[in-house]
Amino acid sequence: VLLEDNNIINRNIHEATTEVCLSVDLFMDERIINITVSNENFNLQLTMNKADKQFI
C-alpha cells in the first residue's frame, strides 16, 4: 500500500511540473493581441482587442 501511495505522489508531482507553452502574438496594425497557454492537457486562447481593451 505504501508503494501505491508513493506512486500517486510521484505522478502528481510529475503532472504539476508538466511543461507549459506560452505564446503571445502582437498584431500592431490590427491592434489585436493573441495569448495562448497550452500543454499536453489543455489549450487556453485569449484574444484581446487593444482598442476596446476587452477580451473576446
* pTM beyond 0.75, yes or no: no
Give 1-56 as a 3 state SS string.
CHHHHHHHHHHHHHHHCCCCEEEEEEECCCCEEEEEEECCCCEEEEEEECCCCEEC
What mean pLDDT do residues 16-40 have?
A: 68
pLDDT band at 19 (very low <50, low <70, confident <90, very high): low
